[in-house]
Amino acid sequence: MSKRNIVVIVFGLAVGVFGGMFGLGGGVIMIPVLLYVFKKNIHAAAATSLAVIGPMAVSGTIGNILSGTIVWPAFLFLSAGSIAGAYFGAHMSKKIPQDLLRKMLGIFVLVIALSMVFLPSRAQAVSGFSGSVSLLAGLVMIFSGLAVGVFSGLFGLGGGVIMNPLMLFGFGFTAHQTVATSLAVIVPTSLSGTLKQFRQGHIDLRLAGLLSAGACVGAFAGAKLKEHINNNDLKVLLGLAVALVALTILFKKSKQE
């Protein structure tokens, strides 16, 4: 195996640890690297990122199932909307100019990141196995899932940057429940968007395969590592990490634009 391939796998491992810890899918790290290191255009970067996110999220979710932190009713409602939304978002991505797509991504992610750092969550004790979700909350989750899916398919992210603040501030989940449930929803969301991107021919399959090899291992480790970080610290670390990447996307153009 070449040194370059080993580096790609190790990078995938780091992405997986990040995604498993923060429930973001890792796209906020992958996309800048695919843009500025691997010289991909924004459409190819988004598509390849999405292809890696699916298997990585599966691995992290297995770790979260073992720890019992997934809120299953929320997972079902959010997934119901996100699958259709991701397919539609992936279809729309090719219709938006690259520079505009990059700026939209950077601004949106930065706003979400700052809200995570500065807004207090109203964490409650919600059980992932016995907790119930009202009809109104379920409908809100379905429509939120639709928005998450469109965002995921459009930008090549798992959608956690929308789901995390929604569950933290809207439904009062703890940071650990939020991260675990978000990562679980990313599984069907990313697979739906990946299918559309594959049909459009945007995915670098070889690069996606190497990244996935490392990311799957890292995601499982990250899911277990987050159990040793307290709720508020995890929320702030999540916001700071996303803010840094948002600024990178916003102010540094790729050479393909």
Q: How confident is the model at residue 133 (pLDDT cuts 50, 70, 90)?
A: low
Q: How confident is the model at residue 12 (pLDDT cuts 50, 70, 90)?
A: very high
Q: By the 8 A CB rule, do 16 and 31 touch?
A: no
Q: How confident is the model at residue 126 (pLDDT cuts 50, 70, 90)?
A: very low
Q: How confident is the model at residue 2 (pLDDT cuts 50, 70, 90)?
A: confident
Average pLDDT over residues 62-78: 87
Residue 76 has phi, psi (to 5 degrees) of -65, -45
Look up residue 51 and give its DSSP letter: H
> Does the pLDDT at position 180 exceed 60?
yes
Residue 66 is which amino acid?
L
Would you kindly state where each structural domain of the chain is located, as residue ranges?
3-251
**Tokens linked to 151:** 């965002």
Least confident piece of the model among 112-116, 126-130, 165-169: 126-130
The chain-wide mean pLDDT, for the chain, equals: 80
Average pLDDT over residues 178-198: 87
Please state, in angstroms and rounded to a whole number, the distance separating the CA atoms of residues 85 and 88.
5
Compare 37 and 146 and report the one with higher pLDDT: 146
Taking the model in full, what pTM does it have? 0.73
> Does the pLDDT at position 256 exceed 70?
no
> Does the pLDDT at position 128 exceed 50?
no
- Sequence-ordered strand ranges (E) for the chain: none
In this prediction, what percent of the chain has a pLDDT beyond 90? 15
